[in-house]
Amino acid sequence: MKKLYGDICEVEAFVARITLWGMVILIFAAGIARLLKYPINWAIDLSTCLFAWSCFLSGDIAWRENKLMCVDVFVRLFPEKFRRYFEMFNYIVILGFSLYLIFFGIQLSYTSRVRTFQGIPNFSYTWVTLSLPVGAIFLLMTGILKIRRDFTQNNAKTTIGDPL
């Protein structure tokens, strides 16, 4: 199971890198083409789609690797036990919000299936809106694993010093 999750994380990181690079290349090419008086009208629109995918996937990667911005000026003043409870509360809020995004993101993706994205023929708006529930599924998996890790670490801490 760990190997499967590791493979999923690698694929997620690869897709996030590809979408970011694709977006940068498209915007750069569109700028050069506009300078040469041959604008690529669809490049900015397609890079917007890639940006959405890159944002949601990269957000999960950053959270999984604990590289998100954290403001803990006040939380550091409290005892360790309170900080663990506060962190667990944050995890639960994120899990709830992820479930909300999954449910309504799938609904949004379904209802936008017939709409074209920025007028690009044969390119459904669903491809953009699917980034929301897919990214939220990854966030949900990461959140569940973080909660599980915290529980196993806390149980290990309490059982090590137990005399029984």
pLDDT of 41 > 60? The answer is yes
Percent of the chain's residues with pLDDT above 90: 57
Distance of CA 15 to the CA centre of its chain: 12
Q: Tokens 């397609």 appear where?
A: 46
DSSP code string of 55-118: HHHHHHHHHHTT-S----TTGGGS-HHHHHHHHHHHHHHHHHHHHHHHHHHHHHHHHTTTSBST
Q: Tokens 């999954």 appear where?
A: 102
* CA dihedral angle for residue 149, residue 152, residue 158, residue 160, rounded to 10 degrees: -110
pLDDT of 145 > 80? The answer is yes
Which residues sit opposite 124 in a β-bridge? Answer: 116
Segment 21-31, tens digit of pLDDT: 999 999 999 99
**In angstroms, how far is the first alpha carbon of the chain from the final one?**
32
pLDDT of 130 > 60? The answer is yes
Percent of the chain's residues with pLDDT above 70: 93
pLDDT of 51 > 70? The answer is yes
Q: What number is the average pLDDT over the span 53-71? A: 91
Question: Greatest CA separation found in the chain?
Answer: 79
Q: Tokens 């199971």 appear where?
A: 1
- Which pTM value belongs to this model? 0.83
138: confidence class by pLDDT, cuts 50, 70, 90: very high
163: confidence class by pLDDT, cuts 50, 70, 90: very low
Segment 67-106, tens digit of pLDDT: 888 877 888 888 988 888 888 999 999 999 999 999 999 9
Say what the pLDDT of residue 26 is.
Answer: 94
Segment 12-23, tens digit of pLDDT: 999 999 999 999
Q: Where are the domains of the chain?
A: 2-157
Read off φ and ψ for residue 133, nearest 5 degrees: -70, -35
Q: How many CA atoms lie within 13 A of 94 on its CB side?
A: 23
